[in-house]
């Protein structure tokens, strides 16, 4: 059976209704634009060693532009940081035709449709995980995952017993490990020399209240760069496995 393309998915009725409604009504300042109004595909270099995973597209961000973290304040913060660290050829992401190119990084979200109040239901998250699973398997050079926020962290933790993190899912499930509590800067070894680092989500609220600052996020990206090397990856994995 041919796999469903992300942008063709209509599995979650509530999300289909919401994303379509927003695309038709539009925000006043975007009345002259044509909204994407569909599930938003991932963006970047799939051969990259670094995957950045967020929660879901914003109603008037990715749902409008058709690109992850594009056209909203979270994206402004994220892409400016990626540019500072050499992951992008420009410091902003305005629309899908702006010439932005990402290097050594692939950007996605757990849920691909904009959800009401930015809160996907558990069943919507689980239904959408098929796309994240598929992309993880296709990222042959993956070394590091940056989880933006606890929602992304929780979803990725649920996949820790699946390929590409293990070659023998049945064996791994017989000895489950305790889940570390989410915190900014948390590092977790997922398996097969693939590690995850966590950051607060670069939402407008978190940035405005300084829960997440540019300096904090710069430190996270520097650690991601270091963790993407094979030697550092092995070292972090050994430390995590020795924890009680």
- What are 12-34's pLDDT values in tens digits? 999 999 999 999 999 999 999 99
What's the first-to-final CA gap in the chain, in angstroms? 43
Residue 120 has pLDDT above 70, yes or no: yes
pLDDT at 178: 87
For 12-242, the fitting CATH number among 3.40.470.10, 1.10.3720.10, 3.30.420.40, 3.40.50.150 is: 3.40.470.10
Question: What ranges do the domains of the chain cover?
Answer: 12-242
In the chain the beta strands, taken as DSSP E runs, fall at 43-44, 50-54, 105-109, 144-148, 187-191, 194-199
pTM: 0.90
What average pLDDT score do residues 181-188 get?
97
Residue 222 · residue 86 · CB < 8 Å: no
Q: Which two tokens stand for residue 36?
A: 């994407």
* Secondary structure class of 70 (helix, strand, coil): coil
pLDDT at 241: 34
Strand partners for 108: 53
């Amino acid at each position: 059976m041919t796999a469903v393309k992300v942008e063709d998915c209509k599995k979650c009725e509530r999300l289909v209704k919401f994303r379509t409604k927003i695309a038709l009504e539009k925000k006043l300042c975007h009345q002259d634009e044509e909204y994407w109004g569909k599930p938003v595909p991932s963006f970047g270099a799939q051969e990259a060693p670094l995957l950045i995973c967020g929660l879901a597209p914003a109603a008037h961000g990715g749902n409008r532009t058709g690109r992850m973290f594009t056209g909203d304040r979270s994206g402004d913060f994220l892409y400016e940081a990626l540019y500072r660290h050499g992951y992008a050829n420009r410091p902003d992401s305005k629309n899908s035709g702006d010439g932005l190119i990402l290097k050594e990084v692939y950007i996605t979200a757990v849920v691909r449709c904009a959800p009401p109040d930015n809160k996907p239901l558990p069943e919507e998250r689980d239904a959408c995980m098929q796309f994240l699973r598929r992309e993880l398997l296709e990222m042959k050079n993956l070394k590091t995952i940056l989880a933006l926020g606890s929602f992304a962290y929780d979803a990725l933790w649920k996949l820790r017993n699946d390929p590409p993190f293990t070659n023998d899912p049945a064996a791994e499930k017989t000895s489950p490990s305790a889940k570390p509590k989410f915190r900014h800067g948390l590092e977790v070894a997922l398996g097969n020399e693939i590690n995850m680092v966590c950051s607060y989500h670069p939402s407008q609220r978190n940035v405005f209240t300084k829960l997440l600052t540019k300096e904090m996020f710069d430190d996270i990206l520097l650690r991601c760069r270091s963790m993407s090397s094979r030697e550092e990856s092995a070292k972090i994995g050994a430390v995590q496995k020795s924890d009680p």
